Amino acid sequence: SFDGQREFDYFALALQWPGTYCQRTRSCCPSNGCCRGSDSPTTFTIHGLWPDYNDGTWPSCCSRDSFNPKEISTLTNALEQYWPSLSCGKPSVCHGGKGSFWAHEWEKHGTCSYPVFRNEYDYFLGVLNIYFKYNITSVLNDAGYVPSNTERYPLGGIISAIENAFHASPLIICSKDAIEELRLCFYKDLQPRDCAISSDDKIDMVTSKGSCPKYVSLPEPVS
């Protein structure tokens, strides 16, 4: 049941860089689901696919339906690999209480992706398909931007590599000089578009929103 908030305008695929995210949470939870020390992925993993409005706001919690893990049981193996929860905290879910990272993302954002994705299974499968089709990690690796605890890379070079591959500019968020999150945006037909709202904003948005410096790193996870 879609609760009738105004339909969104576009999607942002939010990806996280475990080597940066886990600098904060690495020691907090040993097993299952969190940062796994030097076993953490050296690829971008999924944070979520977020419906957005062109004015910079977004809808959230668009349905009364709550997350049901059974609906996505055939996707669990892929989701554990590509959409792992790197944090120990149990996030809140829309209608009270706490849930998994997947429950949080589906209820808060996924339910607002209607009618592009019509149910929980459609959403998770759709997100995986977009993630595989627009493989940011391999675009960056192919351009020489590989995980490293010593190298710094020009932010402009990273942005150009992505623009050349997908003909759309991303939004990049840093923690100090390390890339923490990267967003790729899509029209409702799932073709890539700029994440910036207007061309005036473009230079500012790509670079300053996350206040990345001119040279950035892609740290390797450490234990």
How many other C-beta atoms are found inside a 10 Å radius of the C-beta of residue 201? 15
Residue 10 to residue 187: CA distance in whole angstroms? 5
Residues 18-77 that bind ligand 5GP (CB under 6 A): 47-48, 50, 52, 57-58, 60
| Residue 101 lies near ligand 5GP (rule: CB under 6 A) | yes
Our CB check for ligand 5GP shows the closer of 87 and 137 to be 87
Phi, psi of 216 (to 5 degrees): -130, 165
Catalytic option among 104, 105, 107, 180 = 105
Catalytic option among 47, 107, 120, 181 = 47
- What's at 61, amino acid-wise? C
104 is catalytic: no
Instruction: Kindly tell me the sign of the dihedral angle through the C-alpha atoms of 51, 127, 19, 137.
Output: negative
Report in angstroms how near the CB of residue 210 gets to ligand 5GP at its nearest. 9
Lookup result for tokens 């020390």: 37
Q: Which tokens belong to 123?
A: 């959403």
Q: What SS3 state is found at 118?
A: coil
Catalytic option among 104, 107, 109, 181 = 109
47 is catalytic: yes
Q: Which tokens belong to 113?
A: 């992706």
Residue 13 to residue 176: CA distance in whole angstroms? 22
Our CB check for ligand 5GP shows the closer of 60 and 66 to be 60
Our CB check for ligand 5GP shows the closer of 16 and 217 to be 16
105 is catalytic: yes
- Please report, as ranges, the residues that interact with ligand 5GP according to CB under 6 A: 12, 16, 47-48, 50, 52, 57-58, 60, 85-87, 89, 91, 101, 104, 108-109
Residues with catalytic function = 47, 105, 109
